Amino acid sequence: MSTLTSSCCLGFDFSTQQLKVVAIDGNLQVVHQNNVHFDSDLPEFRTQSGVHLHEDGLTVTSPVHMWVKALDIMLEKMKKAGFDFSCVEAISGSGQQHGSVYWKKGSRARLQGLDPAKDLHSLLQDSFAVVDSPVWMDSSTTKQCLYLESAVGGAQQLADITGSRAYERFTGNQIAKIHQLQPDKYNETERISLVSSFAASLFLGDYAAVDYSDGSGMNLMNIFSKQWSKPCLNATAPMLAEKLSDPTPATTLLGPISPYFVKRFGFLENCKVVAFTGDNPGSLAGMQLQEGDIAVSLGTSDTVFLWIKEPRPALEGHIFCNPVDCTSYMALICYKNGSLTRERIRNECSGGSWEGFSSALDSTPMGNNGSIGVYFDVVEITPPAIGVYRFDQHDKRVDAFTREVEIRALVEGQFLAKRVHAQKLGYRIIPGTKVLATGGASSNKAILQVLSDVFSAPVYTIDVANSACLGSAYRAMHGLVAGTGVSFKDAVKGAPAAQLAVRPSPGAMEVYGPLLKRYADLEAKVLMAKTQ
């Protein structure tokens, strides 16, 4: 990026509920932020939290025209706020993962010749074969998932190729369903985009390639060769390779911005569009995760992302290609029993008070004198089990713990689970490993101390309300220099860094080393009890 302080990079995030934008200047400072809320700013689409839930209770879609119109509104809002588009050197973005867009035959030519006198929404009115795009919340494709796994030799085989076993929300299974239930629409489709590459296509004025990272969330790409997997394509739908076109690294400079935006909004002709990616890969960039680091987001559901070098795809979690370094990977694991379970135990064991919860953690020893708990109030994703299980120091099941022991057993159990599953996917603590904690519970020091002890690594906190969006602006800036060999880390040197919150207590490694193994064995026992 040039040193002109007035020049900037833009990051967009097409997420489930809103479209967001962040502009950063040459010093990596945020100089503009804006958003368009789908439900309230575009009420004509009648979405709830950005989506339509269908009557079967499984199908979830979003209107593709709503996303196009949101971009019209966003750019008008920025113009009204006095944003100077001529200072933008590069644009990148992210989108909710797995969602798909079906461009109708003839749309490429339309994208290449957009009339700057009109808005995108009216220009692209007739450009989509499927107007209700399937999104990540959809779980209607179990049949297609079972078929895909059996076609490639089983769930583990599919994970070995694509980084994940078959998941209903993953795009390949959604494409298979559209081909089976709406063959005419499938045949009318010239190009299938992810939400991310669809958004990039709007800026590029041409079809944008799917990037390796978001492409890893489709159950279609070989994450090692970074090519579409022929057996997966064949088991999904005919002529699919042509409709997808080749994937590309997330650092790719796709080309200059479409003349439409130059004429309509005053962007410079040589403003660059850098490949868009998924929101989770975007967050990895926004949080400036580095090799060996692990990010733990403690929210309604807990999510863990990792930067890994040697992935080991498993039947749980996902391996995606890394969005900022093509030789690395990222793993993503989701847990449903996050803050709601912590709140339940807080209510039952410390009268609803976080102070009481924290004092219980402070007054009980690391390792809880051998007491371990597994607390799955709702069916967990990783592993798929439900129920509350308490074990004493001899691995004998017990009915209850004292209140303090219960609180520590919950928090230790949640963090042991995160480390055990991360390790199954290839995670290793290396010198310099940081744990980046985000989300509601990351403001609780006592909880962070347990996190630090269980991982035997320092815990840093970072505000990531907009991490995917900010990550996209960082990636736009990196995209300008990535071709000359500059690493992402060097490109974002000087960006606001995470703050050290706590260090591991002395002796933590000795306590939690053996407990990790015990937790893994006990969790396997719980899973076995469920399947018997």
Taking residues 188 to 227 in sequence order and writing x for each that binds ligand XUL by CB under 6 A, - otherwise, the string is -----------------------------x----------
Under DSSP, the state recorded for 209 is P
What DSSP character marks residue 258?
Answer: P
Q: How far is the CB of 378 from ligand XUL (least distance, A)?
A: 17
444: which 2 tokens?
């609780």
Least separation in angstroms between residue 214's CB and ligand XUL is 9
Residue among 134 and 278 whose Cβ is closer to ligand XUL: 278
Report the side by side order of strands in the sheet with 189-194: 128-130, 100-104, 189-194
Which residue from 96, 141, 236, 467 is in contact with ligand XUL, where contact means CB under 6 A? 96
CA dist 421 and 382 (Å) reads 8
Nearer to ligand XUL, 271 or 319 (CB): 319
Output 119 or 279, the one with its CB closest to ligand XUL: 279
- Cβ closest to ligand XUL, residue 16 vs residue 341: 16
Angle between helices 195-204 and 64-80 (to 10 degrees): 50
Tell me whether residue 279 or residue 302 sits nearer to ligand XUL (CB atom): 279
Residue 279, interface with ligand XUL (CB under 6 A)? yes
Q: Which tokens in the block code for residue 294?
A: 């692990």
Q: DSSP class of residue 48?
A: B
User: Out of 8, 9, 10, 16, which residue is the one contacting ligand XUL (CB under 6 A)?
Assistant: 16
Residues 480-519 that bind ligand XUL (CB under 6 A): none
Choices 23-31, 92-100, 152-160, 405-413 (CB under 6 A): range interacting with ligand XUL: 92-100
> Closest by alpha carbon to 226, among 200, 245, 246, 207?
246
Residue type present at position 337: N
Shortest distance, position 401 Cβ to ligand XUL, whole Å: 33
Nearest residue (CB) to ligand XUL, 101 versus 129: 101
Instruction: Quote the crossing angle between the two packed helices 403-424 and 339-349, to the nearest 10°.
Output: 160
Nearest distance from residue 334's CB to ligand XUL, in Å?
Answer: 7
Beta strands in 59-127 (DSSP E): 60-63, 88-95, 100-104
The secondary structure of residue 369, as a DSSP letter, is G
Task: Choose between 258 and 280: whose C-beta lies nearer to ligand XUL.
Answer: 280
Cα distances (Å, whole numbers) of residue 209 to 194, 277, 499: 9, 10, 36
For the chain, the first-to-last Cα distance in angstroms comes to 60
Window of 272-280, 370-378, 412-420, 498-506 that interacts with ligand XUL by CB under 6 A: 272-280
**Minimum CB distance to ligand XUL smaller for 97 or for 213:** 97
| Chain-centroid distance, C-alpha 440 | 18
Cα distances (angstroms) measured from residue 216 to each of 16, 173, 221, 517: 19, 13, 6, 30
* CA neighbor of 197 nearest in space, from 154, 254, 157: 254
Beta bridge partners of 33: 22
Helix (H) or strand (E) segment spanning residue 335: strand 329-335
The count of C-alpha atoms lying within 13 angstroms of the C-alpha of 97, restricted to the half-sphere facing its C-beta, is 23
DSSP 473-502: HHHHHHHHHHTTT--HHHHTTTSPPPEEEE
Which CB, 14 or 83, lies closer to ligand XUL? 14
| Total binding residues toward ligand XUL, as defined by CB under 6 A | 11
Stretch binding ligand XUL (CB under 6 A), from 39-47, 94-102, 497-505, 515-523 = 94-102
The residue type at 128 = F
Find the part of the chain contacting ligand XUL (CB under 6 A) among 258-266, 273-281, 483-491, 514-522. 273-281
Q: What is the dihedral of CA 472, 478, 483, 488, to 10 degrees?
A: -100
Among 20, 65, 69, 98, which residue interacts with ligand XUL (rule: CB under 6 A)? 98
Tell me the closest approach of the beta carbon of residue 443 to ligand XUL, in angstroms. Answer: 22
- Piece of the chain touching ligand XUL by CB under 6 A; list 278-286, 321-329, 364-372, 407-415: 278-286
Q: How far is the CB of 320 from ligand XUL (least distance, A)?
A: 9
- Beta bridge partners, 228, equal 221
Nearer to ligand XUL, 16 or 100 (CB): 16
Is there binding between residue 169 and ligand XUL (CB under 6 A)?
yes
**From candidates 13, 14, 15, 236, binder to ligand XUL by CB under 6 A:** 15
State which of positions 111-140 bind ligand XUL (CB under 6 A).
136
Amino acid letter for position 44 = E
* Smallest separation, CB 17 to ligand XUL (Å): 9
Nearer to ligand XUL, 389 or 427 (CB): 427
336 binding ligand XUL? (CB under 6 A):
no
Among positions 35, 97, 196, 258, the unique one binding ligand XUL when judged by CB under 6 A:
97
SS (H, E, C) 291-316: CCCEEEEECCCEEEEEEECCCCCCCC
Q: Which residues bind ligand XUL (CB under 6 A)?
A: 15-16, 96-98, 136, 169, 217, 278-280
